[in-house]
Chain A
Amino acid sequence: MRKQIDYSAEPILDVKGLKQYFKVSKNFTVKAVDNISFKIYPGETYGLVGESGSGKSTIGRSVIRLYDPTEGSITFRGKDISGKMNRKTTEELRTKMQMIFQDPMASLNPRKTIGDIIAEGLDIHHSYKTAAERKEKVQSILKKVGLAPEHAGRYPHQFSGGQRQRVGIARALIMNPELIIADECISALDVSIQAQVVNLMRDIQEETGTAYLFIAHDLSMVKYISDRIGVLHLGHLLETGTKEEIFDHPVHPYTKSLLSAIPSPNPELEKKRTALEYDYKTSGIDYNKGTDHLVSGTHYVKCTDEEFEAWTK
């Protein structure tokens, strides 16, 4: 049964006109993310796709405030978190929004036990009264992600890649977040383990109702897990909509070329498939001139009026 998302509800995350520039030198600024707006609703999975360098990881990091956004507003649970935050808002952001990173080995402290890594958030925010309560919380979360309670005393190197990613998920979950940012969290895993982790993430969403911002470049997996999808290219959000809208009726030529490049595990088809060509420089499209046009429902595409007319004919 697919879950129902209430799109009339108050969005849990509302990003408006987000810009994230990195100043490299006096004369050169990298515009990693340029004027991006999207919303995430409670219990929803929003997938961000795009090639490397398109700014998808930057968005995740700006939203959780690992970077200071250059411009734009980010509203999380009705509070603005894009500028300077007071103590209460900071605490709320740091507990209710969590992140799962790509490389589970690099994101776990090798000198700490799994139990301590998972409980670190609890320690910082003093979310328990007795040591017994802390232990109880860690063990129940370990069980939830499919690890055994006795694993709490072990170190990251004693686990396999898939198990480590489960630890990363447990660490995010223990704060009862309402939004989890998953930045390429399955890319480093083997195919069979990827499926295990994706199933686990789905189960957790069903149980706790947390929303995901799922960042990935594997389009088949994004389609499988996401409710809505945003397509990024060169720091611009070109097209966004439900997965059916994006995959069945792509409008932007870049989206079309991206979808045509997805390898399919069907040799007869795959041997004959040729991907559509798309080159930004020669396409004549200027992303900076585009504005959001509504195609239907929740489906928006960024382009000029003339382009919109030509593409939707």
Chain B
Amino acid sequence: MERKKILDINDLDITFKTTAGKVHAIRGINLELYKGETVAIVGESGSGKSVTMRAAMGILASNAKVNSGEINFTYSHDDGITETVNILSKNKKWIRSHINGKRIAMIFQDPMTSLDPTMSIGKQIMEGMIWHYKTPKEEAYKKAVRLLQEVGITDAEARMKSYPHQLSGGMRQRVVIAIALACNPDLLICDEPTTALDVTIQAKILELIKKIQEERGISVIYITHDLGVVAKVADYVNVMYAGRIVEKGRIDEIFYDPRHPYTWGLLSAMPDLETDDDRLYTIPGSPPNLLHEVQGDAFAPRNAFALQIDEKLEPPMFKITDTHSAATWLLDPRAPKCEMPSELKHRIERMKAAAKKLKEGESAS
């Protein structure tokens, strides 16, 4: 089957004007997403992952300035005709009535703050349909009940009248998902959807989003810093650092064959259940302040593998395979041979062995 491109971000560059000066938050981002697939954007706070997605939604803060780039979004009308628009060239009003909530829906981190405490949840689910599609009230009501059932809320009819404070955290996030699905969006953006939830509920919410994605064939972007979540849901991974994508690739390429020192650091900083090293591998220091223009590679000061050139010149994306590329000078043919830290190497070998064992067990049974 041919893969249809649905979102294409080209060379996006954004600065924020603040009282302290200009913050160069996004420094040239390229990202694409195909229909029905899941992309995860991973990075620390301040790396620009949320800003990128807010730009795609057209909900940037008013002090943001887009210096260059385009965000091409392809969606299909009800009659099947597809249209591609550059979201950055449209005004707020147009985006509000054509994109927000209708074509691109977003699920935020904290369900308590994204729900209106003074409105019953039924009303909140119906709101979007009535506003965007002028759906008659009774039809909207029926659809809302169906949506609540779809996201796994029992006794949906009775729950329509509930208010957010009457629901538990996991239930609230299910309601938020129902609201997001109300207008049949083509793209769902999940901004840390499970960070505020307990592990037991986290798994259920992720499975729910996955199930809905398969049934409806929508595309999903996850913004997260939790590599466990990424491992569960993503097809492709983009690792962001200081406003740039430093490594991108298929999920197995990023987890089993990472090439960028920052990705190494991220993977080894998170202990898995087998980790019994005396010390956790850490990335020293903290992310750079983007108030000041970055000279060379932004990661160089924290990078134990930094080369001299890293201080002067920002590395380009080096291609490793058709899908996998990383922005580090270590991949230049002239660079000295450099291996990932041994702790991580052992861990990846262990993970591969576990995966192999699982596969063998499956084919045997």
Contacts and interface: CB of A to CB of B under 8 A. Distances in A.
18 contacts: A52-B198, A160-B286, A195-B269, A198-B280, A202-B279, A220-B271, A221-B271, A223-B271, A258-B199, A261-B199, A264-B228, A264-B273, A266-B355, A267-B251, A269-B231, A269-B354, A269-B358, A275-B204
B190 to A, nearest CB: 15
Interface residues of A, number: 43
B202 interface: yes
A30 to B, nearest CB: 15
A257 interface: yes
A111 to B, nearest CB: 20
Given A220-B273, A247-B273, A265 B199 contact: no
B123 to A, nearest CB: 27
Contacts of A219: 199, 273
A100 to B, nearest CB: 18
Contacts, number: 128
B231 A51 contact: no
A5 interface: no
A149 interface: no
A157 B299 CA distance: 24
Interface string B256-293: 00000000011101111101001111111010000000
Interface of B: 44-45, 169, 198-204, 207, 225-232, 234, 251-252, 255, 265-267, 269-273, 275, 278-284, 286, 351, 354-355, 358-359
Secondary structure of the B contact surface, majority rule: helix
Contacts of A2: 278
Contacts of A275: 200, 203-204
B231 A267 contact: yes
Contact of B286 (A162, A191, A274): A162
Nearest to B203: A275
A196 B280 CA distance: 8
Nearest to B281: A195
A263 B205 CA distance: 13
Contacts of A51: 198-201
Contacts of B273: 219-220, 223, 247, 262, 264
Given A51-B198, A191-B266, A265 B282 contact: no
Contact of A271 (B199, B200, B232): B232
A275 B207 CA distance: 10
A264 B230 CA distance: 10
Given A196-B284, A275-B204, 6 more contacts: A52-B198, A264-B272, A265-B227, A265-B270, A267-B232, A273-B232
Nearest to B201: A51
Given A51-B198, A52-B169, A192-B265, A263 B252 contact: no
Contacts of B265: 192
Given A52-B169, A263-B229, A220 B272 contact: yes
Nearest to B250: A267
A161 B287 CA distance: 11
Interface in A49-106: 51-52
A267 B169 CA distance: 26
Contacts of A196: 282, 284
A220 B252 contact: no
Contacts of B234: 267
B44 A263 contact: no
A287 to B, nearest CB: 17
A21 B302 CA distance: 48
Give the 6 A-B residue pairs with the shortest CB-CB distance, closest first: A263-B228, A268-B355, A51-B198, A270-B231, A195-B269, A195-B280
A266 B231 contact: yes
A190 interface: yes
A1 interface: yes
A100 B109 CA distance: 25
B210 to A, nearest CB: 9
A263 B355 contact: no
Given A266-B231, A266-B351, A195 B282 contact: yes
A267 B355 CA distance: 9
Contacts of A257: 200
Interface string A241-264: 000000100000000011001111
Contacts of A202: 279
B271 A190 contact: no
Contacts of A266: 231, 255, 272, 351, 354-355
A217 interface: yes
B30 to A, nearest CB: 23
A219 B273 CA distance: 8
A194 interface: yes
A122 interface: no
A196 B200 CA distance: 27
